[in-house]
Amino acid sequence: MAVLEIVGVTKRFGSLLANDGITLSLAEGEILALLGENGAGKTTLMNILFGHYTADEGHIKVRGEILPPGSPDAAIAAGIGMVHQHFTLADNLSVLENVILGRESLWSWRQDKARGRDHILSMARDFGLEVNPDALISDLSIGERQRVEILKALYGDAQVLILDEPTAVLTPQETESLFETLRRLVDQGRSVVIISHKLHEILSVSDRVVVLRRGAIVGTVKTADADRDSLAELMVGRAVVRPKAEPMAPGEEVLRLHKVSLGGAKLDAVELTVRAHEIIGIAGVAGNGQADLANVISGLARPTSGHITLFGEGPAQLTPESVVAAGVGRIPEDRNAVGVIGAMTVWENLSSEDIRRPPASRGGIFLDKPAARARAAELIEAYDVRCKGPDAETGLLSGGNIQKLILARALSREPKLILANQPVRGLDEGAIAYVHERLLAARRRGAGILLITEDLDELMALADRVAVMYRGRLSASYAVSEVTVPELGLMMAGQNREAGENSKDGARHAV
């Protein structure tokens, strides 16, 4: 029996057809994966299912009963729980308080915390979600916070659990722990819908895969009959091959950090060197200092001790303006909040770092709008930014196309150093392959690249050397051929790497 049925669901936002007559079902005890390019309609469909949006056409059934549209309360009452990609926890409250918040009547005189604690401990034992109910959220690791989000959903006896990009910030070990939890859930008759861009994870944990493209279902396959290449081709409509780095001899030094620290132990005596024709990968769970490292190199934060040498000149007091002027290409972590200004046009965003240089400027004083628009039109074509032209509003572009815009702005100036912070976060397979090829082309041209990422597959495919950040400290670096993904995962969790500590072949050395 189908525990969940989505029947003919269509959703439009103005002229945009986000969901186009989607019909699918979810069986009891099944893990169903939902795949698709950025903008394919996956999250829209799940938001309709959970009541955040109302469908223009079609309906949803839970165990044969039509679900009232546009009501999260009705969805929860019907046994649907949703774990969003970005955690919705109150850091200043305990695990217990977060889980039971909003679950009791407003007319209750007090919270029944004893009952709530017992229920949480019972669920934790049953589903492998071990966590201290009295711990503050602010004291928990990322993986523990993910468990709390799932406990929140299960506390209301959710029979259908929806997870949107649940492994985005987890270590490999935390990911496997999550998957073990999902297997326990389905063994007890619950059902799971998982949205993810990580094809190897989908192949590992799901029973069936539904693929969306441009708002419509283009394929449904049993996971046992699928592989990574076939799923990627279904997603984007063509064969997709991720490029890999070819061996290259490193060139001259383009960046050096010597014992760089940032107040409050954000960075602790970081040693880092990047050379031309080289990609240095920095792994780590979010919140361990990677953002602070990027801010220091970008000139957005000033070190409290240590110094930075850029292109052999320094020590330098970096500012955002001096960094750009020196020839550093910046791909920021948050493309929407930091990378672009959504209300501005595409040509304005593409010209934002060249506002005082040709062709955007005449004499460093006057904005040459026709020249800037013409240059933007060239970059739109060269970097395949899919929009209505230079005058398109940037905020209306998909995530993948915003990332291409940022790449066009950062790489078209042929920078000698590229700071790429989470360059493919949230992108689909086609967009990932495109971004990787652009970065490798810059490496071949002679750029040195600092790649900060939580995606270990990306790291192993692109980097020449890799180091791990943990609580503001940067580990020694390793040639990618001398380290494994499980070892990196342990280092990301704060454990020292045992293998290779006394390597005689020189694979381990200062970054």
Say if residue 134 is in the same domain as residue 169: yes
What average pLDDT does the segment 269-283 reach? 95
Res 501 pLDDT > 60: no
Q: Parallel, antiparallel, or unpaired: how do β-strands 417-421 and 328-331 relate?
A: parallel
What is the chain's mean pLDDT, rounded? 86
Q: What share of the chain in percent tops pLDDT 90?
A: 44
Whether cis (ω within 30° of 0) applies to the bond prior to 315 is yes
Tell me which of 382, 412, 442 is where a domain ends.
412
Q: Looking at residue 95, which CATH number applies to its domain?
A: 3.40.50.300
Domain count for the chain, please give it: 3
Give the pLDDT of residue 268: 92
Say if residue 21 is in the same domain as residue 165: yes
Give the pLDDT of residue 443: 96
Res 384 pLDDT > 50: yes
Say if residue 126 is in the same domain as residue 136: yes
Say if residue 181 is in the same domain as residue 218: yes
Say if residue 75 is in the same domain as residue 158: yes
Give the pLDDT of residue 506: 36
Take residue 236 and report the two structure tokens written for it: 């984007």
Say if residue 14 is in the same domain as residue 113: yes
Work out the pLDDT band at 359, boundaries 50, 70, 90.
Answer: low
Identify the burial level of 244 via C-beta atoms within 10 angstroms of its C-beta, where 0-12 means exposed, 13-18 middle and 19 or more buried. exposed
The per-residue DSSP string of 122-159 comes to HHHHHHT----TTSBGGGS-HHHHHHHHHHHHHHTT-S
**What's the pTM?**
0.71
Nearest alpha carbon to residue 152 among 60, 84, 106, 53:
84
Instruction: Please state, in angstroms and rounded to a whole number, the distance separating the CA atoms of residues 369 and 197.
Output: 39
> Do 291 and 453 meet the contact criterion of CB atoms below 8 Å apart?
no
What average pLDDT does the segment 108-129 reach? 78
Work out the pLDDT band at 55, boundaries 50, 70, 90.
Answer: very high
Residue 337 falls inside a structural domain: no
Give the pLDDT of residue 103: 66
Say if residue 313 is in the same domain as residue 214: no
Residue pLDDT, tens place only, 205-264: 999 999 998 899 999 999 999 998 899 888 888 887 888 889 999 999 999 999 999 987
Residue of 202 and 359 predicted with greater confidence: 202
Give the pLDDT of residue 364: 55
Identify the burial level of 439 via C-beta atoms within 10 angstroms of its C-beta, where 0-12 means exposed, 13-18 middle and 19 or more buried. buried
Res 3 pLDDT > 50: yes
Work out the pLDDT band at 275, boundaries 50, 70, 90.
Answer: very high
Domain hosting 504: range is 253-327+413-509
Q: What is the CA radius of gyration of the chain?
A: 24
Report in angstroms the alpha-carbon separations of 496 from 251, 452, 467.
30, 20, 12
Tell me which of 380, 412, 444 is where a domain ends.
412
> Do 421 and 227 meet the contact criterion of CB atoms below 8 Å apart?
no
Residue 287 falls inside a structural domain: yes
Highest mean pLDDT among 157-171, 305-319, 470-484: 470-484
Work out the pLDDT band at 509, boundaries 50, 70, 90.
Answer: very low
Residue 115 falls inside a structural domain: yes
The per-residue DSSP string of 219-243 comes to EEEEGGG--HHHHHHHHHSS-----
Catalogue the E-assigned strands of 336-430.
361-362, 366-367, 417-421
Say if residue 370 is in the same domain as residue 308: no
